[in-house]
Amino acid sequence: MKKYLRFYGIIYILILALIIGLGMLYLNNINTITINKITPPVFNTITVKQDDDLPYVKGSMTPPIEINKFASSTPELTAKGKGIYKTQCLSCHGEDGKGDGIAGVTLNPKPRNFQILEGWTNTPDFKGMYKTLQEGVTSRGMASYSNLPPEDRFALIHYVRTFSDKYPKITDEELTELETTYSLSKGLKTPNQIPVSVAEDKLIEKYKVISDKIKNSLISINENKNDKGAILLKENSGDLKKVLTSLYNYKNWNESENQFISFVNNYTVQKGFKSTVTQLNPDEWTVLFQYLKNSITL
Ligand code: HEC
């Protein structure tokens, strides 16, 4: 019996050691274990649709208006709205506002049914509809009507509101909000806007030009075995590519030698230079500056 007990005692210690061992193993690898558990963000064509980008917006200038004059519906306003609706909206939203116009048949999602107030992308209140007309819901097939003067848009909204008696009352708060958002009483200047993807392409294009220049400079500097300037540059660069990148991306260093010296002395190492560069004598500075000024065209 005693023998067995001793045996159990050993097993107990072994198991304990095993647990401690595994625990330490776990702790040692905790970084990899937890890193692997974090799902990497998925940036693919399914989650980021082209449509999610900013639309092209042509900048415009809207004349100032007094919003309170358009806050309540009048027969004149609704009549005006009806006229515009017929020419601009009916083809999609339909005669009775049911979203059943012929131009909307093939659209998915369907044009909004103005008789039903649920499931709108923007709110079906006065300010939500104004937002829709200003910005559009372009990713869903509803264009921006920011080209229409605000008066016309208010008239349209009053007409759309006649399709149901369930539209919420127009509140002073939303009028104030509209006023602050769109500075209606001051008039609104909308700047041009381009989609982010286009802006990115432009940056990439610009970057490509610079990166080609850098490549060519690298080649010519390395080929230039006898030029004193090229030699000084190589001797004093920790990372020549970085040096060239900073030179090509900052525009003012080549205006004067002093400007160049202060450019180099500022964040020297971050710009790819060795700190030895700061100890160049005046002649060497001149040689280096002249060499770069002549060989790097910004
Ligand atoms: C080419 C078809 C088309 C035309 C023309 C059109 N719309 Fe739309 N409209 C749509 C579609 C599609 C939607 C649905 C958007 C959504 O589901 O978010 C929509 C939605 C709306 C909405 C609701 C947005 C929301 O919050 O869900 C309003 C308000 C609206 N349109 C007003 C107008 C007015 C006013 C006009 C005329 C000046 C007009 N639309 C012209 C297709 C059109």
Lowest mean pLDDT, pick from 93-107, 120-134, 171-185: 171-185
Residue 253: CB partners within 8 Å, gap ≥ 6? 247, 259, 260, 263, 264
Mutate which of 123, 138, 142, 163 to test ligand 1's pocket (most atoms within 8 Å of Cβ)? 142
Write the pLDDT tens digit of every residue in 74-97: 999 999 999 999 999 999 999 999
Per-residue pLDDT band for 154 (boundaries 50, 70, 90) equals very high
d(CA 234, CA 221): 8
Q: Which CATH fold topology does 54-190 show?
A: Cytochrome Bc1 Complex; Chain D, domain 2 (1.10.760)
Q: Which of 206, 203, 229, 204 is nearest to 217 (CA)?
A: 229
Write the pLDDT tens digit of every residue in 220-268: 888 888 899 999 999 999 999 999 988 988 878 999 999 999 999 888 8
Tokens representing 244 are 């060239």
**CA dihedral for 220, 225, 227, 233, sign (positive or negative):** positive
pLDDT of residue 29: 65
Range 158-177 average pLDDT: 95
Mutate which of 110, 112, 113, 152 to test ligand 1's pocket (most atoms within 8 Å of Cβ)? 112
- Calculate what percentage of the chain has a pLDDT beyond 70: 86
pLDDT of residue 4: 67
Residue 129: CB partners within 8 Å, gap ≥ 6? 122, 157, 160
Q: Decide: 98 and 113 in contact? Cβ < 8 Å.
A: yes
More confident residue, 32 or 80: 80
94-103 in b/e burial notation, b at 16+ Cβ within 10 A?
Answer: beebbbebee
Question: C-alpha distances in angstroms, 190 versus 138, 146, 175, 200, 298?
Answer: 17, 9, 20, 21, 33
d(CA 98, CA 52): 27
Token pair 């061992």 is at which residue?
21
Q: Assign residue 99 a region: left if phi > 0, alpha if psi is -120 to 50, beta otherwise? A: left
Question: C-alpha distances in angstroms, 295 versus 45, 169, 241?
Answer: 43, 69, 15
Tokens representing 77 are 């306003």
Mutate which of 88, 92, 157, 161 to test ligand 1's pocket (most atoms within 8 Å of Cβ)? 92
Would the pLDDT of 121 be above 90? Answer: yes
pLDDT of residue 31: 56
Q: What separation in Å is there between the alpha carbon of 99 and the centre of ligand 1?
A: 8
Per-residue pLDDT band for 1 (boundaries 50, 70, 90) equals low
pLDDT of residue 34: 53
Q: Where are the domains of the chain?
A: 54-190, 196-295
Per-residue pLDDT band for 190 (boundaries 50, 70, 90) equals low
Tokens representing 207 are 């970057």
Per-residue pLDDT band for 42 (boundaries 50, 70, 90) equals very low
Lowest mean pLDDT, pick from 25-39, 42-56, 111-125, 205-219: 42-56
d(CA 154, CA 170): 12
Residue 67: CB partners within 8 Å, gap ≥ 6? 150, 175, 178, 179, 184, 185
Calculate the average pLDDT of the chain: 85
Q: What separation in Å is there between the alpha carbon of 107 and the centre of ligand 1?
A: 11
pLDDT of residue 44: 40
